[in-house]
Amino acid sequence: MPLNNSQGFVPISSLSSYVNQEVNVIGVVTDFLPAARSKGTDWTCNFRLADERTYDDGVKFRYFKPMEAELPQLEGISDVVILQKVKITQWSGMVVGISSRNTLWTVCPATFIPQSMPIGRINLKCIRGKGSSAPTEEQMRSAIELCNSRDRTCSSTSPTTIDPSATAQTLTPVATPSTAGVSSSIATRREKFALVKDVQPEMYYDLVGQVVKTYPGNGVLELYFTDYTSNSLLFNYGWGHGDNETSTLPKWRGPLGKHTLTVSLFPPHSYYAQSNVEEDQYIFLRNTRIKYSKDSKLEGSLHTDRRNPDRVDITVIKDTNNDRVKDLLRRKLEYTKQFSRQKDAFISMNEGQKRKQTEEPKLSKHQARRKRKREREEETQKKKQQVTASDDEEVDKENPDPFRIHITPNMNSKTRQPDNNSTPATSPPPEKPPSKANSLNENIRASHLDIPTRSLTSILSYEDFTSPEGLTCVLPFRNVKSRGTFRV
């Protein structure tokens, strides 16, 4: 039976009614962080407590002491903690318990709590802080009920079977096959905290990492998060991702490869992150759901807590002395060294590719042979064109145009016709035999041998004609028979 107000204890589910008051609480540990240095000179540890009436992970408690040994000695999830004279406050809309100088603590490890209520007198082995008294039998009964009200598969060690007549001094854990030969102090703990490399879909985790980028949207904020561990199911950010082809360095400023997890933040988490979270900051994400995206990649999400809509599960970590932040910084340093080597190799490879693009590609034997053949054909064609041009010039010199059409001044400019009585200015000279260079097939002869040969240029050109009276004009056409020597 849970302890009530008449016994001096307040249910954890009712702590919101005791803000700015000191109360006594008893609860089962649902989550905790190892001890670490606070911003000042004290040591601190954070943990969450719940009871039978609490449907979520419970209320967060922060305990401060000058020495680490004076903090509550938690062994794992499912431990039962008794706190006396702890102050209840509100922070960011959440109810939080803060220790004071008068706060006392007692921890009942889940290792020594039986799975069923024993018959007769109960004596549990407990760890007490300085000034704390031994728990009463009612408190130990409540501790057994609280521990067994939650899933004990998440506890750090296997439960213990006890003799009802055993005392606190003679009580020792009975080793099970899964824990035989392993000390309870070094037993493997199954915590909710995980690294990005260990997350799996459809699970909830607490994550500590660095903010790479934030993209605000319509009420939803996308947060790119990394702890510098790699997961094969994440998106692969490679060199040059999101940049043009001419760039030598990527626009993506986060870690390359599969190191970055995209987390979608919904209200009120998105509003808090948009106002308080900046890039390169270290943050703690509580109860993050991991799932598959549409591209079959892992992504995270933080939705609104239905039981506590104002609850924010994001905490900005400003104390770099935290052990998990120290591990994160160490992994970041190792990645930076590897990144520098990869960057130098990428730049040299990129410059080599640019040089190859400017140079002529290496041709195969067949392609080189075709290229040489094409060059020879082009050279032969150029030589033929040069010979044809020289032949035309020579023909023009040997056979000038002998025709001149004489017109009268009274001729209409629109309907110019040559005078029927006009005669050529000079008689056509006799045809000269072709030169050796222009000699063609003797079996091919054109008609009208009395007309001298002319070049193609002179045939197609429109020349000025002068009348006997000295009037010069250009005729729109010429009705003249022409004969030429051409190469096909």
Give 105-126 pLDDT, tens digit per residue: 999 998 888 888 888 788 888 9
pLDDT of residue 486: 77
Give DSSP secondary structure letters for 451-466.
SPB--HHHHH---EEE
* DSSP symbol at 385: H
Is the per-residue pLDDT at 188 higher than 70?
Answer: no
What is the structure's pLDDT at 211?
Answer: 93
Dist CA 19 CA 88 (whole Å): 5
Confidence label for 182 from pLDDT (cuts 50, 70 and 90):
very low
- CA atoms of 418 and 376, how far apart (whole Å): 51
CA-CA distance, 35 to 321, in Å (whole number)? 11
Q: Which long-range contacts (CB under 8 A, 24 or more apart) does 380-384 make?
A: 384/487
Q: What is the CA radius of gyration of the chain?
A: 49
The rounded percent of the chain whose pLDDT value lies above 90 is 23
Structure-token match 């969450």, residue found: 48
Mean pLDDT of the chain: 76
First to last CA, the chain: 116
Phi/psi region, residue 306 (left: phi>0; alpha: psi -120 to 50; beta: rest), is alpha
Q: What is the DSSP annotation of 12-35?
A: GGGGGGGTTEEEEEEEEEEEE---
Amino acid at 462: Y
Question: 336 is written with which tokens?
Answer: 């930076």
Helix (H, G, I), strand (E, B) or coil at 147: helix
pLDDT at residue 83 in the model? 94
441 with 469: CB under 8 angstroms?
no
Between residues 385 and 47, which one has the greater pLDDT? 47
Taking 90 as the threshold, does the pLDDT of residue 24 lie above it? yes
Instruction: Yes or no: say if 23 and 88 are a contact pair by the CB < 8 Å rule.
Output: yes
pLDDT in tens, 296-333: 899 999 988 877 788 888 999 887 787 888 899 999 98
pLDDT of residue 57: 76
Question: Picking from 9-23, 362-376, 446-460, which range would have the lowest pLDDT averaged per residue?
Answer: 446-460
For 447-468, the pLDDT digits (tens) are 777 788 888 887 777 667 777 7
What is the rounded CA–CA span in Å between residue 356 and residue 347? Answer: 14
- The CA distance from 265 to 302, in Å, is 5
Give me the pLDDT at residue 155, please.
53
pLDDT one-digit tens code per residue, 69-91: 899 999 888 899 999 999 999 88
Measured CA angle at 95 (ends 141, 67), to 5 deg:
70
User: So what's the pLDDT on residue 397?
Assistant: 58
Q: Classify 258 in phi/psi space as left (phi over 0), alpha (psi -120 to 50) or beta.
A: beta
| Cβ count within 10 A of residue 91 | 11
Is pLDDT at 168 greater than 50 in this prediction? no
Mean pLDDT check: name the lowest of 81-95, 98-112, 422-436.
Answer: 422-436
What pLDDT is attached to residue 474? Answer: 75
Residue 453 has a pLDDT of 83
Question: Where is 37: in which H helix or E strand?
Answer: strand 36-37
Strand pairing class (203-216; 260-265): unpaired
User: What is the pTM assigned to this prediction?
Assistant: 0.38
Query: Quick check: 181 pLDDT over 50?
Result: no
The most confident of the ranges 165-174, 193-202, 362-371, 386-395 is 193-202
Residue type, position 430, single letter: P
pLDDT band for position 221 (50/70/90)? very high
